[in-house]
């Protein structure tokens, strides 16, 4: 996370520098403008964010221990299987790279509030949705699922509002749920309490919100590349 | 008109009125808002403070009954957690034991060995106590096994039985193990963790009193051992407890014990936040701060960015507090964990509206009144604000109908928070914004005032800003203002800055002072080390009347000399035959006449013993129970009144219990040495304190000497070369070391220098007297002097005939022609002054004002003042000086042809354009005239010499292209061959080797409608700027006009073009235009100056302009945004140059300053000469080899700046 934050600042700095329209491009900026490297950097950052969010949100899901004796921090962070955070990271990197790509293909660039503050707000709401699903006591699971679905759609409406975003979100959420279901069938892990057709019904909602969030981050990161490339074209 | 539009209009109008109101009465509105915030937050006082500390509730022990689960009607002061049975009832037996009388034959280990040994019998007693049919086993809290992680404590803490904790647990409650333990202290301390720990340690757990109070130490002064036996009971049987109490009290009576026994304290523990729960919380807060950071970063173009960001955050936070307060007021008690939902609330409410408001207000026209700006800004955003708010409210209301209590509560908070946020935005933030904008306006005004004073009075005393001058599109982000040249200083290194900051604010001293005061306050308030009691004890021990100082009920002892125990004991309530050792010991002490009294342990019971657990960490109970996986979170325990037990042991008993190794510990300390020790300790402490104080004072003094800024001036380098007064000092009196940059003075001209030209190797200058001097740009040697009219040596009448004109005011070269006409034949120019404003000659382009004209000139002027209107005021020179039309010059060509108006240097050829329209080519090294061209008759105002072409701009607006034909390339001409006179008739000798001819290839007669003011050539283009508001671009090869660039609304005064085809132009309207030379289109257009733009320089990233307002503005080249501006001294605005991409040099009064372009920092100021203060630098030329040449007065100064460059690199 720290690394990715650092990269983020560095990238912003680079964009700022290059937006000044100077010809004094150091090797660093040329690295940023290099397409492959840029892709790599973005992927790494998204991966880092994904892993971090997976770890933190997993902690949220950890049920409150009865004991006051402070449990082992490390063990509670890595209470889930070791492969879950990397999977989340990879998935988020893919999604974050896919979104701007699809935007470019469809030719309808994302217009709505392309600022970091908006992205931060989106992430905060996503964490809030997770928090609600983990900590708030709902009367029954239907209520929980409906609330979460409403919240997720609200998230999409507030921060995305693009049809491609919605479609991709739904598709990926369904795919991810399916994958999880397969894993469960194969006995890799078990839900604590499956409520609907052997799955937790809130899982797709969480997936959907996560896809929207990561897509938002990915688009914001891609903005830097766009800027730099535009700058380059302009200068040439 | 639809309803929607009507609504929109109404909202907009309402917001407009509201904005007017807020901007008109800022202070009352802010006061009103603060009062309403405080009122709304008032209910918050009733809420319990968040925290994890335990809460207590005290009930009487007598009529105690287990509280029922159901909340009863009369809650009273009963807290809501006081329901149901507690986790456990805690019965503590507080044991205080001492060996008395203290005998000189005893060793320090005896202080605690035998008292600790008595714990086993006590435990036995407690365990075996039976009341009717109940024993401890049936009542106590049965614990199972320890948590898996606590295996190492298995031998110590009880398992599978009663939770009964005492120091005896160290030895598994077995007397024989204790007896065979050679080193008790080691046993006790082996389980202590290293380092600092906040939670309860094992020693605290087992002893039940804080570690330092146990008295289990070799150096215990009081020789009283204190410990507790803690029993956890699962059910409360009052009779059993009472019988146990009675039994123990009977066995071990406490004499002067007045502990209250009727109170039962219930302690409720909140849930503690584990690290696992903390991490998500911290993450949300990090995201929140990132959100706030990214949001407030967007606030721009205001006076105080930080202030507004703070106001925005305050708005959101206080709206949250208000929402909680209001909800509490209306009976809703928050049940959610405030800390964890807070970030979400902030994110939901958001800072967006605030930012939108700011942006909207800032983007209103600057020249409006503040009130109107606020109102306009508000009303233009009113619709979107209302729409957003309505949307959010609807979303939150939908959330309210999820019927999940937690979400409902959240939504309720959010709704109230949103509404109060709206209220605060409208009243608080808008008002703060209006104050900020007003401040910015004031600052703007202040900044402009000096420039205004120097300007001619505005044509009409209208509003602040003349209407016809378009306002600058953006207010300047900030302006660097220099108060006086004396304050110019080096950019100090960082560490020095830190030190200066510390020194200036006296930070270290203040922190130390405040720290000391706080420390003393804490010391006095808490008395942590028991200083008072210690001192009192010391005094009572030391004084010979020690016994008299004791409390009276103990003071009875001397009445019984020799000590009669039985009679003393008869007074006591407990008829136990245990001797009262205190009294005995006192008796002994008193009975020893003259002998120093032994310090015998006294056991006293005070109110602090009532609740001994209070002195422990509040985690004591939770950690004790957590060992057995019992949580106390959200539950409570009941602590029964403590049972005091006093144990007095005989010295014999203590000796009997000794372990053989005990005597080897610690040397026997006799009573004498003990006394001596105490004395010594006191003295030692005093001496150490004194020493430490002295050292501290010395250290502080040294620090002060080091940090003290005043010493810098005195101890600084004593400069031999300069007087101190000459050195620029900063406000701390620090004078920077003499820089290695020493300007080279080039003297020789008798008059003020008019023209300056250089090609890097050579430097040519021409003074008012018409003398041209050529200097070596490296060494500063004068190579050649070409006197006025060098080829007609005798023609010196110019100087004689009209001496007044030549030393005239040191205006730039193009003013000179006006001089003769003024003085020579047209003294009455008053009509011209009024009428000729239209056809302005370019005379005033670089003339600064505030110039020291010099005594001679002034005198000359006074003598020759033809009419009272002729006094040459700054105003006129600034604005529109009266100048004769160009043809007037021709009236007396013979007299005035000598004045050189323009000069160019290329290779070793000097091209000089004269006022007579003659173009001369001189050999720079030999000082000979190589060729001359007299094709034109109008004065050459500007010259450009590029490759072998010379372009001359004439006063009548025509542009002449000359070709210089030489039979050898120009570069080879240098220092070669005899001085070949050009093939000109005036040339006395002729050399066939170097034939230089200058032919007019093309003359563009009407290049401009009005006189050409600026001519620049680079990259194969010639760019001219004229009074007729246009810029023309010519191709150099075929002198074809490529573009006529129109866009200025005033005459062109400055043009910049370089090899990269960057073209910038500045005009009299204060506008700067950037053009694309290839297409002729205007790239950007900014208004930067009040008055003319006097010079323009571009670097890769920015455009630097200076104007008559003495402001140097730095613009971002790509966006046209003003980065910052530097306020120059009066009259020094025009001279500037760029050495590298990041180094700007500007001229000042007798000095040049170097600036870091990226940050606008002043790097260094170089003073050019001893007495050059009065002269200001008018021209500044940057050479290729990191040298700059500037002229001031009749002197040139050559400054090398390699070191500055190095520093930047």
Residues 6+ apart with CB under 8 A from B892: B820, B824, B825
Q: Is B188 exposed, middle or buried (0-12, 13-18, 19+ CB in 10 A)?
A: buried
Does residue B803 surpass a pLDDT of 70?
Answer: no
The verdict on a CB contact (< 8 Å) between A59 and B351 is: no
Q: What is the pLDDT of residue B294?
A: 85
Q: Name the pLDDT band for B658 (thresholds 50, 70, 90).
A: confident
Of B907 and B74, the structure prediction assigns the larger pLDDT to: B907
Q: What is the pLDDT of residue B391?
A: 86
The verdict on a CB contact (< 8 Å) between A21 and B1101 is: yes
Q: What is the pLDDT of residue A192?
A: 56
For the record, the structure tokens of B631 come out as: 């949580």
Q: What is the pLDDT of residue B357?
A: 85
Does residue B887 surpass a pLDDT of 60?
Answer: no
Distance from CA of B622 to the nearest CA of A (A): 7
Q: What is the pLDDT of residue A80?
A: 59
Largest CA distance in chain A: 65
Q: Which residues of A touch B (CB under 8 A)?
A: 19-24, 56-57, 59-60, 62, 64-71, 73, 76-77, 115-117, 119-121, 123-125, 127-128, 131-132, 135-139, 143, 146-147, 150, 154
The verdict on a CB contact (< 8 Å) between A56 and B291 is: no
Q: B122 near B244, Cβ under 8 Å?
A: no
Of B1090 and B579, the structure prediction assigns the larger pLDDT to: B1090
The verdict on a CB contact (< 8 Å) between B1101 and A22 is: yes
d(CA B947, CA B941): 20
Of B735 and A157, the structure prediction assigns the larger pLDDT to: A157
Does residue A131 surpass a pLDDT of 90?
Answer: no
d(CA B402, CA B406): 10
Mean pLDDT of B299-313: 83
Q: A25 near A18, Cβ under 8 Å?
A: yes
Q: What is the pLDDT of residue A90?
A: 92
DSSP tag of A24: -
Helix residue ranges, H only, B543-595: 565-571, 581-591
Of A23, A116, A124, nearest to B343 by CB-CB distance is A124
Produce one character per residue of B307-332: b if its CB has 16 or more CB atoms within 10 Å, e if not.
bbbebbbebbbbbbbbbbbbbbeeee
The verdict on a CB contact (< 8 Å) between B287 and A77 is: no
Question: Which three-class secondary structure state does DSSP give residue B638?
Answer: strand
| Dihedral angle over CA of A41, A42, A44, A47, nearest 10 | 180
Q: What is the pLDDT of residue B744?
A: 75
The verdict on a CB contact (< 8 Å) between B404 and A71 is: no
Does residue B476 surpass a pLDDT of 50?
Answer: no
Distance from CA of A117 to the nearest CA of B (A): 5
Q: Name the pLDDT band for A200 (thresholds 50, 70, 90).
A: low
Position of tokens 């209208």? B462
Of B298, B347, B395, nearest to A124 by CB-CB distance is B347
Does residue B870 surpass a pLDDT of 50?
Answer: no
Mean pLDDT of A97-121: 81
For the record, the structure tokens of A149 come out as: 């679905």
Q: Name the pLDDT band for A213 (thresholds 50, 70, 90).
A: very high
Residues 6+ apart with CB under 8 A from B331: none
Count of CB contacts below 8 A, A vs B?
Answer: 124
First CA to last CA distance, chain B: 66
Angle of helix B405-424 versus helix B26-41 axis, rounded to 10: 160
Does residue B594 surpass a pLDDT of 60?
Answer: no
C-alpha dist (Å) from residue B833 to A27, B815, B823 = 60, 15, 14
Mutate to test the interface with B, among A59, A125, A155, A217 (most CBs of B within 10 A): A59
Distance from CA of B289 to the nearest CA of A (A): 9
Mean pLDDT of B1106-1113: 81
Mean pLDDT of B785-814: 44
| Dihedral angle over CA of B309, B314, B316, B322, nearest 10 | -170
Mean pLDDT of B727-745: 49
Q: Name the pLDDT band for A149 (thresholds 50, 70, 90).
A: confident
The verdict on a CB contact (< 8 Å) between A136 and B406 is: yes
Q: Encode pLDDT of B509-554 as tens digits.
A: 888 888 888 888 877 666 544 555 555 555 444 444 433 333 434 3
Question: Which three-class secondary structure state does DSSP give residue B236?
Answer: coil
Least reliable range by pLDDT among B135-149, B293-307, B925-939, B1160-1174: B1160-1174
Please tell me the number of Cα atoms within 13 Å of B895 on its side-chain side: 18
Chain B residue nearest residue A79, CA to CA: B276
The verdict on a CB contact (< 8 Å) between A124 and B274 is: no
Chain B residue nearest residue A140, CA to CA: B404
Among A120-129, B244-253, B996-1005, top mean pLDDT goes to A120-129
Q: Name the pLDDT band for B633 (thresholds 50, 70, 90).
A: confident
Does residue B361 surpass a pLDDT of 80?
Answer: yes
Q: Name the pLDDT band for A93 (thresholds 50, 70, 90).
A: very high
Does residue B707 surpass a pLDDT of 60?
Answer: yes
Number of CB atoms found within 10 A of residue B512's CB = 14
Q: Name the pLDDT band for A208 (thresholds 50, 70, 90).
A: very high
Position of tokens 């050679």? B182
The candidate with the shortest Cα–Cα distance to B187, out of B661, B669, B668, is B661
For the record, the structure tokens of B637 come out as: 């325990």
Of A121, A139, A150, nearest to B291 by CB-CB distance is A121
d(CA B961, CA B1002): 5
Does residue B427 surpass a pLDDT of 60?
Answer: yes
Of B645 and B483, the structure prediction assigns the larger pLDDT to: B645
Does residue B848 surpass a pLDDT of 70?
Answer: no
Q: Name the pLDDT band for B365 (thresholds 50, 70, 90).
A: confident
ipTM of the complex, rounded to two decimals: 0.81
């Amino acid at each position: 996370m720290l690394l990715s934050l650092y990269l983020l600042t560095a990238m912003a700095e680079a964009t700022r520098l290059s937006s000044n329209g100077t010809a004094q491009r150091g090797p660093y900026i040329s690295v940023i403008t290099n397409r492959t490297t840029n892709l790599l950097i973005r992927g790494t950052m998204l991966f880092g964010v994904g892993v971090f969010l997976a770890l933190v949100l997993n902690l949220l899901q950890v049920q409150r221990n009865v004991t006051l004796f402070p449990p082992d921090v490390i063990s509670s962070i890595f209470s889930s299987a070791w492969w879950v955070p990397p999977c989340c990271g990879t998935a988020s990197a893919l999604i974050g790279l896919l979104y701007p790509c699809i935007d470019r293909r469809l030719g309808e660039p994302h217009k709505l509030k392309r600022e970091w503050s908006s992205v931060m707000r989106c992430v905060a709401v996503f964490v809030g949705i997770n928090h609600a699903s983990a900590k708030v006591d709902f009367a029954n699971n239907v209520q929980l699922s409906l609330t979460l679905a409403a919240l997720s759609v609200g998230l999409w409406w507030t921060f995305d509002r693009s049809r491609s975003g919605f479609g991709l979100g739904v598709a990926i959420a369904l795919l991810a749920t399916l994958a999880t279901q397969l894993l469960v069938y194969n006995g890799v892990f078990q839900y604590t309490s499956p409520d609907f057709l052997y799955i937790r019904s809130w899982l797709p909602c969480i997936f959907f919100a996560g896809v929207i969030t990561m897509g938002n981050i990915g688009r914001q990161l891609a903005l830097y590349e766009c800027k730099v490339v535009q700058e380059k074209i302009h200068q040439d | 008109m639809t309803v929607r539009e009507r609504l929109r209009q109404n909202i907009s109008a309402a917001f407009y009125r509201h904005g007017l109101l807020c901007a008109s009465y800022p202070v009352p509105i802010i006061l009103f808002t603060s009062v309403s915030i405080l009122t709304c937050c008032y209910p918050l006082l009733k809420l319990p403070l968040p925290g994890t500390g335990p809460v207590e509730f005290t009930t009487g022990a007598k009529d105690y009954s287990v509280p029922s689960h159901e909340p009863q009607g009369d809650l009273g002061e009963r807290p809501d957690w006081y329901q149901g049975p507690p986790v456990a009832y805690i019965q503590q037996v507080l044991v205080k034991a001492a060996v008395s009388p203290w005998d000189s034959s005893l060793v320090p280990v005896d202080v605690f060995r035998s008292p600790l040994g008595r714990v086993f019998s006590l435990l036995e007693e407690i365990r075996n106590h039976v009341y009717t049919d109940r024993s401890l086993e049936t009542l106590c809290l049965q614990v199972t096994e320890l948590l898996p992680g606590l295996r190492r404590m298995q031998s110590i803490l009880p398992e599978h039985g009663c939770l009964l904790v005492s120091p005896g647990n160290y030895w598994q409650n077995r007397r024989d193990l204790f007896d065979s333990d050679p080193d008790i202290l080691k046993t006790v301390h082996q389980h202590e963790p290293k380092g600092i720990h906040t939670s309860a340690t094992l020693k605290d757990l087992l002893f039940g009193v804080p570690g330092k109070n146990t008295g289990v130490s070799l150096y215990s002064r009081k020789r009283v051992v204190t410990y507790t036996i803690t029993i956890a009971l699962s059910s409360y049987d009052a009779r059993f407890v009472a019988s146990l109490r009675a039994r123990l009290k009977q066995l071990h009576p406490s004499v002067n014990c007045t502990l209250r026994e009727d109170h039962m304290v219930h302690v409720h523990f909140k849930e503690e936040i584990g690290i696992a729960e903390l991490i998500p919380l911290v993450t949300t807060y990090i995201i929140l701060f990132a959100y706030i950071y990214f949001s407030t970063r967007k606030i721009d173009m205001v006076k105080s960015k930080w202030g507004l960001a703070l106001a925005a955050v305050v708005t959101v936070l206080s709206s949250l507090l208000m929402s909680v307060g209001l909800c509490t007021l209306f009976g809703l008690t928050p049940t959610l964990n405030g800390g964890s939902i807070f970030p979400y609330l902030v994110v939901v409410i958001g800072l967006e509206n605030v930012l939108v408001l700011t942006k909207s207000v800032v983007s209103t026209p600057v020249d409006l009144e503040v009130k109107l700006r606020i109102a306009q800004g508000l009303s233009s955003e009113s619709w979107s604000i209302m729409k957003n708010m309505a949307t959010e409210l609807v979303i939150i209301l939908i959330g309210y109908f999820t019927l999940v209590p937690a979400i409902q509560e959240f939504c309720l908070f959010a709704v109230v928070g949103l509404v109060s946020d709206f209220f605060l935005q409208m009243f608080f933030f808008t008002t703060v914004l209006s104050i900020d904008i007003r401040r910015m306006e004031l600052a703007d005004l202040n900044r402009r005032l000096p420039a205004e004073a120097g300007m001619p009075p505005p044509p009409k005393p209208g509003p602040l800003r003349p209407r016809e001058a378009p306002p600058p599109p953006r207010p300047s982000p900030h302006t660097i203002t220099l108060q006086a040249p004396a304050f110019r200083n080096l950019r100090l290194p960082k560490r020095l800055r830190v030190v200066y900051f510390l020194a200036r604010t006296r930070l270290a001293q203040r922190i130390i002072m405040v720290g000391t005061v706080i420390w003393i306050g804490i010391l006095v308030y808490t008395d942590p080390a028991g200083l008072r009691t210690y001192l009192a004890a010391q005094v009572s021990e030391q004084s010979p009347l020690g016994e008299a100082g004791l409390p009276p009920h103990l003071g009875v002892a001397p009445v019984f000399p020799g000590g009669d125990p039985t009679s003393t004991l008869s007074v006591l309530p407990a008829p136990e035959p245990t001797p009262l050792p205190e009294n005995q010991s006192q008796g002994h002490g008193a009975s020893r006449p003259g002998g120093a009294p032994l310090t015998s342990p006294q056991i006293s019971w005070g109110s602090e013993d009532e609740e001994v657990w209070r002195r422990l960490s509040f985690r004591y109970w939770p950690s004790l129970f957590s060992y057995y996986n019992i949580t106390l979170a959200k539950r409570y325990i009941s602590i029964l009144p403590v049972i005091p037990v006093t144990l007095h042991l005989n010295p014999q008993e203590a000796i009997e219990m000794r372990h053989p190794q005990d005597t080897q510990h610690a040397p026997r300390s006799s009573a004498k040495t003990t006394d001596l020790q105490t004395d010594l300790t006191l003295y030692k402490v005093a001496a150490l304190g004194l020493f430490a104080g002295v050292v501290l004072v010395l250290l502080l003094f040294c620090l002060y000497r080091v940090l003290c800024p005043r010493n810098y001036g005195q101890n600084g380098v004593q400069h031999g070369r300069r007087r101190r007064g000459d050195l620029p000092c900063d406000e701390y009196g620090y004078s920077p070391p003499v820089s290695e940059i020493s300007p080279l003075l080039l003297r020789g001209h008798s008059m003020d220098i008019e023209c300056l030209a250089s090609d890097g190797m050579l430097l040519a200058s021409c003074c008012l007297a018409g003398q041209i001097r050529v200097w070596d740009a490296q060494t500063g040697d004068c190579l050649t002097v070409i006197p006025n009219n060098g080829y007609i040596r005798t023609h010196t009448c110019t100087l004689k005939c009209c001496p007044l004109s030549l030393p005239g005011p040191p205006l730039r070269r193009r003013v000179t022609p006006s001089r003769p006409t003024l003085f020579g034949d047209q003294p009455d120019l008053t009509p011209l002054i009024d009428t000729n404003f239209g056809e302005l000659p370019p005379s005033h382009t670089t003339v600064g004002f505030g110039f020291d004209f010099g005594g001679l000139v002034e005198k000359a002027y006074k003598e020759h003042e033809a009419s009272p209107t002729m006094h040459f005021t700054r105003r006129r020179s600034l604005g529109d000086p009266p100048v004769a039309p160009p043809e007037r010059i021709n009236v007396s060509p013979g007299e005035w042809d000598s004045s050189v108006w323009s000069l160019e240097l290329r290779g070793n050829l000097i091209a000089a354009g004269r006022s007579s329209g003659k173009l001369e080519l001189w050999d720079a090294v030999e000082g000979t005239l190589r060729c001359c061209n007299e094709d034109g008759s109008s004065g050459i105002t500007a010259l450009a010499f590029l490759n072998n072409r010379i372009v001359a701009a004439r006063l009548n607006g025509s542009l002449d292209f000359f070709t210089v034909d030489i039979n050898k390339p120009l570069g080879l001409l240098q220092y070669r061959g005899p001085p070949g006179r050009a093939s000109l008739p005036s040339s006395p000798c002729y050399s066939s080797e170097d034939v230089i001819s200058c032919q007019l290839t093309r003359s563009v007669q009407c290049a401009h409608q009005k006189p050409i003011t600026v001519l620049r050539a680079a990259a194969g283009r010639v760019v001219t700027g004229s009074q007729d508001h246009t810029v023309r671009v010519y191709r150099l090869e075929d002198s074809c006009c490529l573009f006529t660039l129109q866009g200025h609304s005033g005459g062109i005064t400055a043009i910049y073009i370089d090899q990269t085809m960057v073209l910038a132009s500045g005009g009299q309207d204060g506008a700067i235009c950037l053009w694309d030379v290839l297409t002729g289109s205007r790239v950007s257009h900014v208004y930067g100056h009040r008055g003319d733009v006097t010079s323009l320089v571009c670097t890769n990233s920015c455009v630097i302009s200076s104007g008559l307002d003495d402001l140097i503005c730095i613009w971002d080249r790509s966006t046209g945004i003003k980065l910052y501006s530097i306020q120059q001294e009066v009259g020094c605005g025009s001279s500037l140059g760029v050495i590298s991409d990041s180094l700007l040099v500007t001229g000042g009064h007798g000095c040049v300053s170097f600036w870091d372009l990226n940050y606008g920092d002043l790097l260094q100021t170089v003073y050019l000469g001893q007495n050059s203060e009065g002269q200001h630098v008018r021209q500044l030329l940057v050479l290729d080899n990191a040298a700059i040449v500037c002229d001031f007065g009749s002197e040139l100064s050559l400054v090398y700046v390699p070191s500055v460059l190095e520093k930047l690199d």
